Structure formats: C-alpha cells, structure tokens
Structure 1
C-alpha cells in the first residue's frame, strides 16, 4: 500500500512537471503571437514578408521587410546542413560499423563534447581564425559572411546528426548485417543497400533536429555573419539572420513601439519555423520506431 502511494506521488509529480512545461510553451507562443500580431495593424503582411529592406530607424519612411533576414537565415542554415549532413552521416557509419570498440568509445564522447562548447567561443574562432582564412582563400575584403557562419553552425550541428544517426544505426538488428553478408554482399554494400535504407527515417529525423538547431542559433551568427541587412546574392556576402537581428536591436527599442512589436513578429516567425521542424522530426522518429519495433 505504501509503495503504491509512493508510485502515485511520483506519477503526479512527473505529470505536474509535464503540464508545467506545456503551459510555459503555450504561454511563450501566445505572448509572441499577441505582441507580434499587433505589427500587422500598422504594417501589411505583404510588406513585412516580401519587403527586401529592413530599416525601422530610418529618418524618413521606415522599412519593415524581413525578406533579406529570412534569406540570410536560410542561407546560413542550409549551408550548415550541406556541410554537416555528409560529415555527420559518414561519421555515424564509421562509429557504428567500422570503428573498433576502443576508437568508438574515444571518438563518440569527444564528438558529443562539441555540443558543450559555448557558441560564443565558436563565434570567436570564426572571427579570429576562420574569417581571415576564408578572405585569403577567396580574395575577399572581409571573411565575415554567410559561408563563414555556415561552417561554424555546421560544426555546432554535427554532434546532433552524428549522435542520433549512430544510435539509429546501432539499434538495427544484427540479423540485418548477418543476412546481408551471408548473401555475399561486401561490407560497403551491406551498409549502402541494407543499413542506410532501414535507418533512413531516423537519419532524416536527426537532420531535421539539426535543422532546428541551426535555425535558432544566435551568438555564432551574430559574430561571424557580417550583420548586413542587404539582400544577399551569394555565400560570400555578409548577412544578418533573424536571430542576430533580434539580438542586436531588441536592446535599442522602446517597449510597446512598432519596432518592438515587429521584432516579436520576427520571433514568432522563428518560433513557428523551429516548432514545425521539431514537430516533423518527432513524427519521423515515431514512424521509425513503429516500423522497426523488435
């Protein structure tokens, strides 16, 4: 009887924690929604989402277009994924099926430690070492651009993709490997034609979670992206992602002003983007679990 009462208390405690977390998330969303949507009483949605110029503090007519900010965010995000996806999947394959146990036990914690490096440190590395190197290699006046930010964010995304992909590949039944090799497949054929297709939904979920991580990154892109509000035309142009724009301008605005509300509208756009990415990745993971449940 006493044990049942204790278990019931533990269940109620965790239920309370879960409901609290959900209420906090809902509260954040409604605060962003309430504050951000007030922007559209004074600025049309077409101007806000399709305008190419963001200049709320102009002496003349202010501009409220976030298209250049969205473009900067997408360039840094997908540039980071172009770097992180092949490296992450290759590393996961090496750790799960090629590396010796001693090497695996050394490399995996080292890779996961990258996630613990503060983003400001990686941003500092981008400013002091990577950006001069990029400028020298490509003959640029400044190395603070979308390419430098993509490399830095790609490094930050790598632990997520590697860790989840390696866990998915390791969780596949050993019978998959044994049956493939018994049919005469080489180790590479076994990986390419058996393991990767079976683990594809889990790997896709890892990529989606990495995407959410890249979209929400602030400090590294604030330091290494160049902070230009102009519409970028290539990865060698400086950009200002939405997260960096909020971090730069929120301290300068008057609470309750249109500028203040517009920044919260940008935050609402980011919230919806990251929530959608995480929601889709959760669906993919659950589908993978149901498909390969043993």
Structure 2
C-alpha cells in the first residue's frame, strides 16, 4: 500500500509539473505572438497614415523619384518618391548575394568535403567570429579602407553601391557559409558512398550528388543572407553616400530604405507627413522581410516534400 501511494504521489507531482510547464510555455508563446502582432499593427498603421491621412498617392510613393517631404511640386503634392531607395536596397542586396553565394558555397565545400579537420578547427571559429562582429565595425572598416580605395584607384568619391556591396558581402558571407555547411552536412553519407562506388570522382560526387541534394538548403542560406543584407542599416549608411537619386553607376552615392530611415527618424515629429512617410518606408522594408521569410519557408517545405 505504501509503495502504491508513493507511486500515485509521484505521478501526481509529475502531472502538476507537466501542467505548470505547459502553462509557462503557453505564456511565453503568447507574449511572442502579442509582441509580433503589436509590431506589425504599429508599423502598418503608421505606414498607411501617409496614404489615408496625408492623402499621398501610393503609386506616386512607389514610382516617384524625388524625395523631399518638406516640399511640394507644382500641383501641391509632397515630394515623397521612394523609388531611388527601393532600387538602391535591391541593387546592394542582389549584388552582395551574387558575390557572397559562390564564395560561401566554395568555403562550405572545402570545410566539409575537402578538408573537414582544418575547416572545423580553423575556419569554423573564424566564421563564428565574423558573425559576432558588430555592424558598426564593418561600416567603419568600409569607411576607412574600401571608400578610400575606390576613390583613389577607381573613380568617384568612393561612396556608393560598390562600397556598400563590398561591406555587405563580408557581413553576410559567414551567415551564408554556416547555413551552407549545415545543408551539406545533412546530405546522407550513403549518397557519397554510392556515387564513389559507381566510379565517380570526388569532384563529380560533390558537383552531381552533394550540391544537388543540398540545393534547397543552399538556396535557403542565400535567401537568409539576402534578408539580412536588405535590412542592414548602420554599415550601409556609413559607406553608401545617402544621396536620394536613382543610381546610374556603382561608384556614385546612392541610398537605401534603411539608410534614409536611420538618418531621418530622429529628426521628425510624430504625426507629421515627414514622420509618416518614414513609417511608410519601414512598412515597405517589413513587407520585403516577410517576403524573404515566406521564400525561406517555401524552399524548406519543398525540401521536406522531396
């Protein structure tokens, strides 16, 4: 009887602990959901105020090329064209991804397939160190090294999309490399063994078998790196020049959504047109971040289905 009562007591204690655990996790998840929903509601409500309160045309906002919210054109419409910043953001992001992706894939292949011991002992700690460096340090290095190099050896003032692309490439390279390493590691070992048993060389196995099998994970890594590059603010602001014009050259000053946001948000009054259009830029940035997240989930779902 005593043993049975003791077992029942232990069972009831476990049940109470499990119930408490469920309650705690539910509270944590609820806080996260409420915080995310509040941020979305706040940014969207503030961003839409430009179009519903200040009566700015959404088409003019997206396609306009003049940015000076404190002034108006001949028809009395405010100059709030965001097209130069949108083009600058996409240009910097795509160029950085195109440069970082091949380098990251090559580094991941070397770390996993060619020299795993050296990669694990030397390269992996280096990648982790690069991930932990603050963005302001990258921006300061770009301002001190890359901008003068472009100004002295290529053309222009040194500020522009080229300098921002170089900084962002270095910033997203360790992230893309780490995720690509995980994707290659996830390829089953018997794929490699079967390919080598059929007479394929190591490079043929890497190119035809491993990379193809890890392609969804590699694409996810690249998209994740693009999402980080698209939302980067401080480092880009320090080297891009912050000129609100449609860039005609990689070596001319330009601007991005994040650089204009960081420059203007502290110099406007809440509720004014100047403040509302900045929230509209933040809403566009948020929409693009959600788009990247949807792409990552779509690629991951395709990988699970296969």
TM-score of the superposed pair, with normalisation by structure 2: 0.91
* Equivalent in 118, 136, 147 of residue 131 of structure 1: 147
TM-score of the superposed pair, with normalisation by structure 1: 0.95
* Equivalent in 167, 172, 180 of residue 165 of structure 1: 180
Segment of structure 1 superposing worse, 218-227 or 280-289: 280-289
Extract unaligned runs of 5+ from structure 1. none
Report the CA distance between 1:29 and its aligned residue: 0.8
Show structure 1 runs of 4+ deviating over 4 A.
Answer: none
Q: Residue 107 of structure 1 corresponds to which residue in structure 2?
A: 123
Change (3 A) 1:12 1:290: farther
Report the CA distance between 1:178 and its aligned residue: 0.4
- Cα distance in 1 for partners of 2:125, 2:19 equals 37
Q: Residue 214 of structure 2 corresponds to which residue in structure 1?
A: 199
* Equivalent in 136, 141, 149 of residue 120 of structure 1: 136
SS of the aligned residue for 2:254 comes to coil
Q: Residue 81 of structure 2 corresponds to which residue in structure 1?
A: 65
2:268 aligned with 1:250 = no
Extract unaligned runs of 5+ from structure 2. 1-10
Q: Residue 150 of structure 1 corresponds to which residue in structure 2?
A: 165
**In terms of Rg, which structure is larger?**
2
- Cα distance in 1 for partners of 2:250, 2:22 equals 51
- Cα distance in 2 for partners of 1:102, 1:229 equals 46
2:109 aligned with 1:96 = no
> Is this contact kept in 1: 2:157–2:252, CA < 8 A?
no
SS of the aligned residue for 1:157 comes to helix
> Is this contact kept in 1: 2:110–2:116, CA < 8 A?
no
Report the CA distance between 1:143 and its aligned residue: 0.8
